[in-house]
């Protein structure tokens, strides 16, 4: 199989995961789309090279994570995300369902933004991308036990943030 077709399959397999990962960390769909495109462009450039990429998933997430970090270094930390920026809408549900979905997504994004990067990553990768602890540990370059502890602490921090959000409302 030629490299272009092989990378096309990689793209198809990981595009939604990488986009979701980036979107949960940035302030808008446009920025997420740009960073996602850049992730796959850089992945393709590396994929064409002579060096063998052992774990393509970890490689793509690392590129995406670094691009998000670079984005915030350039722009500074973004403030509260507006409702328009959260308007990821499935055309099927009615307006009430869309409003509830956007509200929940907005709350999750706001709370995740308050967690440190390792906590954000471990929650997104394990629970949203459904990756096993072993894969998450590889991507964090940590042992499985350390990753489990990080996940436990991340969930505790997430719970505390959600509870403080509820108290403020």
Residue 3 confidence class, pLDDT cut points 50, 70, 90: confident
Overall average pLDDT of the 86-103 stretch: 46
State residue 86's pLDDT score. Answer: 39
Cα Rg, the chain, nearest whole Å: 17
State residue 140's pLDDT score. Answer: 86
Angstrom distance (rounded) from CA 134 to CA 36: 24
Checking if the pLDDT of 95 tops 70, the result is: no
Identify which has the larger pLDDT, 32 or 106.
Answer: 32
User: Six-digit token pair at 88?
Assistant: 């990821």
Distant-in-sequence contacts of 91-99, Cβ < 8 A, 24+ apart: none
Residue 9 confidence class, pLDDT cut points 50, 70, 90: very high
Checking if the pLDDT of 92 tops 60, the result is: no
pTM: 0.65
Neighbours of 78 (CB within 10 A): 15
Angstrom distance (rounded) from CA 41 to CA 152: 34
**Structure confidence by residue, pLDDT tens digits, 122-146:** 988 888 888 899 999 988 889 999 9
State residue 52's pLDDT score. Answer: 84
Domains of the chain: 1-79 (1.10.1740.10)
Average predicted confidence (pLDDT) for the chain? 79
């Amino acid at each position: 199989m030629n490299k272009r077709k092989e990378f096309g399959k990689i793209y198809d397999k990981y595009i939604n995961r990488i986009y979701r990962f980036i979107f949960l960390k940035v302030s808008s769909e446009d920025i997420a789309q740009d960073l996602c495109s850049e992730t796959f462009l850089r992945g393709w450039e590396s994929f064409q090279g002579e060096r063998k990429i052992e774990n393509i998933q970890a490689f793509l997430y690392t590129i995406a994570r670094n691009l998000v970090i670079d984005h915030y270094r350039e722009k500074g930390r973004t403030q509260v995300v507006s409702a328009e920026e959260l308007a990821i809408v499935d055309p099927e549900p009615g307006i009430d369902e869309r409003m509830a979905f956007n509200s929940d997504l907005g709350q999750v994004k706001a709370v995740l933004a308050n967690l440190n990067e390792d906590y954000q990553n471990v929650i997104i990768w394990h629970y949203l991308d459904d990756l096993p602890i072993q894969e998450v540990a590889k991507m964090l370059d940590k042992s499985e036990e350390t990753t489990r502890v990080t996940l436990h602490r991340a969930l505790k921090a997430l719970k505390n943030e959600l509870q403080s959000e509820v108290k403020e409302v």
